[in-house]
A and B are shown apart, each in its own frame.
Chain A
Amino acid sequence: MLELYSLKKSFGQVNAVDDVTVTIEAGQMVGIIGRSGAGKSTLLRLVNRLIEPTNGSILFNGRDITKLWGRDLRLWRASCAMIFQQFNLVERMDVLTNVLIGRVAHQGPLSTVARRFREEERALAVQALDRLDLLSQALQKAGTLSGGQQQRVAIAKALVQRPEIMLADEPIASLDPANATRVMDALRKINREDGITVLVNLHTLDTARTYCDRIIAMRAGRIVFEGLPAELTRERLQAIYGIDGSDFELDESVTSTAIAPLTTSQSRQKTMA
């Protein structure tokens, strides 16, 4: 269980994340939606401790994450794997090594110099690659892969971290619809099969509706909605995305990246069954 208490992050005068208090139950797939600049990315980076909060605290299973330091901090980062919009792979290294980088938190300095990983770790990486259908590309350079493949490499890397939480920051924002679907399917499969909590930033509403158990909406650093996807009514969406005082009609199919947005309710029923 991940608990955030009045979490705040300021960049100068701007409060990117402002007084966020929320609880994420273990094993859920939670989508975070909101306009660009609403503070979604900052929130995920705070949880992974890539950036330091100005105020507030993060608790994971009762342990205060905000106080971690040194090796404990690195182990925490390993246990909440982060997936980035731009994949953040080392393009000049092969796919297998990129996946093995998920084990760095457990690697000594000499092995780092020699780029040596234990046999079990290599087995873990190969398993993860196989699971994401990338084993045949294992020895290719990561930079030669397509965007969708690179994002799946990033997910494989996240998997070998043996995380308890996965944080995905706009994982499909730079992908075409077919690859976006594959990536989201992979994330949901990991969530269902491995019981890993997934926290995913999305800017397409229908994706959030299709894949997530719960949805958190942010606006100007604050949480303005938290609940089931079905509870996201037109009025609430207006409050989340609307431009103040203007007549604004949101058409979900316009912003959609899914291949068949109209079947969202069907596919949702299928996964819930």
Chain B
Amino acid sequence: MTDLSLAIRNFETDYADARKSARRVQAVSTLLFLGAVLFSAYVGGFFAFTDVTLPSGERVSMLKIWAGLPRLGEYLEKTIPTLRFATLGSDLAEWFWRWETWLRLLWETILIAYAATVLGVFGGFLLSFLAARNLSPGRPVSVVVRRYLEIIRTVPEMVWALIFVFCFGVGPLAGVLAIGLHATGSLGKLYSEANENIDMRPLDGIKASGGNWFQQMRYGAVPQVIPNVISYTLLRFEINVRSSSIIGYVGAGGLGQEIRTAMSLQEYTDLSALFVIILFSMTVIDFLSERLRHRIIGISEHWT
């Protein structure tokens, strides 16, 4: 009994020590984290001052962020359309006066996203097997493919779009290629991470039966990653719709070109109309895609 209680006492001392050092580590890391936040805020100009003229004519120095906030409200106020209850119909018609063009461009936006997603799925899926460390037929192959995927997803879609508009001219083709290339990079990365988490034993079984690399992928890896692939693809489609609604800003098709026109012509209510259209369609697409994702994951239990 005395032995036991001695062991327990020793344990309690050790435990208290362990707790103490854990608390110390926690305190130090919290301080470091706070310091880093303050430092980056400082570099980012959060604490910069600016001179402001008050309504009384007096000039004072003021925190930039504090001085700028009212201007945000000013901008948003300008975008609010005049809607009166008595003439709601005609007011709405005036707000969405270009609805025919906008609807056509919304349709184009969704098609751009769709075509780009298909491109991205094809490229990303094929490359993901070469990129995955556990599946790649050789280390040099996986390194090269990984770097390629990194490069094409690191360059922003807007930059790709600018390049493709230069190559193929203004229009949706440039947008599809730009978003498709970026999606290939992102999906390739996500798919390859799914590949890296699979159980390798089935692949061993196929190899032992005389299967080549391709057959090991087809029968061993693909059935294991299909649910992930579907889920990532639908998520990517949602992201691509967001991208394609802005990509027209540089002339690559879709609603973005209208946003640019509205901004440069200072048609503020057009901006809010476009925002409403995009927000509404995104909500619908997100909702449908989520439903579809859950449905397909259920069904895909029977796919291989």
Contacts and interface: CB of A to CB of B under 8 A. Distances in A.
Interface of A: 48, 50, 74-78, 81-82, 84, 86-94, 97, 101-102, 104-105, 107, 109, 112-113, 115, 154, 157-158, 161
A75 B211 CA distance: 9
28 contacts: A48-B208, A74-B211, A74-B212, A75-B210, A76-B210, A78-B209, A81-B209, A82-B205, A82-B208, A82-B209, A88-B201, A90-B202, A90-B223, A90-B304, A91-B202, A92-B224, A92-B304, A93-B223, A94-B304, A97-B304, A101-B211, A104-B215, A104-B219, A105-B210, A112-B214, A112-B219, A154-B205, A161-B210
Contacts of A81: 208-209
Contacts of A75: 210
Contact of A92 (B205, B210, B218, B223): B223
Contact of B208 (A77, A86, A113): A77
Contacts of A76: 210
Of listed B202, B204, B226, B304, residue having the most chain A CB within 10 A: B202
B126 to A, nearest CB: 12
B258 to A, nearest CB: 43
Contacts of B180: none
B206 A101 contact: yes
A112 B208 contact: no
B220 interface: yes
What are the nearest 4 A-B pairs in CB distance?
A105-B210, A88-B205, A78-B210, A82-B208
Contacts of B20: none
- Size category, B interface: 20 to 34
Contacts, number: 85
Contacts of A86: 201
Interface of B: 201-202, 204-212, 214-215, 218-220, 223-224, 226, 304
Contacts of A84: 201, 204-205, 208
B202 A104 contact: no
B219 A101 contact: yes
A112 B218 contact: yes
A81 B209 CA distance: 6
Contact of B211 (A89, A97, A104): A104
A157 B209 contact: yes
B209 A109 contact: no
Of listed B205, B207, B209, residue having the most chain A CB within 10 A: B209
Contact of B209 (A87, A93, A94, A102): A102
Nearest to A73: B210
A179 to B, nearest CB: 19
A67 to B, nearest CB: 17
Contacts of B210: 74-78, 104-105, 161
